[in-house]
Amino acid sequence: MSRNADSGDRRHVTVVEVGPRDGLQNERVRVATPTKIAFIEALADAGLRRIEVTSFVHPRSIPQLQDAEAVLAGLPARDGVTYSALVPNGRGLERAIAAGVKEIAVFTAASDTFVRHNIHMGLRESLDHFVPVVAEARRHGMRVRGYVSTVFGCPYEGAVLPEQGIAVAKELLALGCDELSMGDTIGVATPGDVARWLEAARSAGLPIEDIALHFHDTRGTALVNVLVGLQHGVRIFDSTAGGLGGCPYAPGASGNLATEDLLYALHGLGYDTGVDLAKVVAASSLIATQLDHMLPSRYYQAARVQACLPV
Ligand code: MG
């Protein structure tokens, strides 16, 4: 049975806003804590109900997110809004519990070399390492999301077979994850790849209603990949306001799918998201002035031309 409460209405799509964490993590310019808090509050004002706001990795490993506690302390609780955080290990979980976080995310990948480069252990070891973390989080009543990177391709290994990501997804569900976010980390997936992956996942018995898709627009395929996901029953998609966060493997290239572009397409298809697109543009404009590049969201750029917003 599905663990996702939102899965009843097929016309509803859940947009998980990951800009404050996944987006900012990949930005060179350090953003001040009060600006982050104002940005996150503006995203919640826009109607986004699930916002990944920070990460409890070691402060030295991602300096941009070393203010995790201060960001969370600055966010008053809101009815129906979940502020989640990435947790790499037991120490990170302790910090998340102390900060009052209700949802955490753990992370691994479909390809062993990527895991070794990122968290300095093998894929098998990373899954074993998360067993006590997920168990302890669940004892604290937390919801747990599992990220699987490099599902459609790996910067070190190249092509990744659907079976690799599916096997990791099954292990994370068995560990106690409520939801999985399957990531196209280097933005290589084509619509054909996504269709094949989702057909393989369904055949393998993965619950599609508990799967989120996390696309990067590096090669311009993110939105069409979303469409294929919708056609195969996926109703949860990750995105970042403004398209925040470049591609860490291709400097200057586009990374995360932009929330504005995703919402524009979803609303045009008749899906309900509960999110006010104009208010997401307003949230993005708060962060735009802080960065050393233009926000890549196409919708944001069009809205900026019309309303004289900052790039
Ligand atoms: Mg991403």
Taking the centre of ligand 1 as the mean of its atom positions, its distance from the CA of residue 100, in whole angstroms, is 25
Output the average pLDDT for the chain. 94
9, part of any domain? no
In sequence order, what are the residues at sequence separation of 6 or more whose Cβ sits closer than 8 angstroms to the Cβ of residue 165? 110, 148, 150, 151, 182, 197
6, part of any domain? no
User: What pLDDT digit, counting tens, does each position of 39-49 carry?
Assistant: 999 999 999 99
CB 17 within 8 A of CB 242: no
DSSP readout, 285-300? Answer: HHHHTTSSS----HHH
3, part of any domain? no
Taking the centre of ligand 1 as the mean of its atom positions, its distance from the CA of residue 109, in whole angstroms, is 13
So which residues are the catalytic ones?
Answer: 247
Quote the tokens at residue 221: 């395929």
pLDDT average, residue stretch 231-255: 86
- Helical axes 191-203 vs 162-175, angle rounded to 10°: 50
8, part of any domain? no
SS3 category, 39: helix
Taking the centre of ligand 1 as the mean of its atom positions, its distance from the CA of residue 183, in whole angstroms, is 7
The whole domain housing 95 covers 14-307
Least confident of 59-73, 241-255, 261-275: 241-255
User: What pLDDT digit, counting tens, does each position of 175-220 carry?
Assistant: 999 999 999 999 999 999 999 999 999 999 999 999 999 999 999 9
Taking the centre of ligand 1 as the mean of its atom positions, its distance from the CA of residue 84, in whole angstroms, is 15
1, part of any domain? no
2, part of any domain? no
Q: What is the CATH number of the domain that holds 299?
A: 3.20.20.70
Indicate the number of domains in the chain. 1
Distance CA 275, CA 92 (A): 31
**What is each CA distance from 258 to 155, 213, 228, in whole angstroms?**
22, 13, 17
Taking the centre of ligand 1 as the mean of its atom positions, its distance from the CA of residue 22, in whole angstroms, is 6
pTM value is 0.95
Taking the centre of ligand 1 as the mean of its atom positions, its distance from the CA of residue 101, in whole angstroms, is 21
192, part of any domain? yes
Q: Residue 3: pLDDT above 60? A: no
Surrounding ion ligand 1 within 5 Å at CB are 22, 256
218, part of any domain? yes
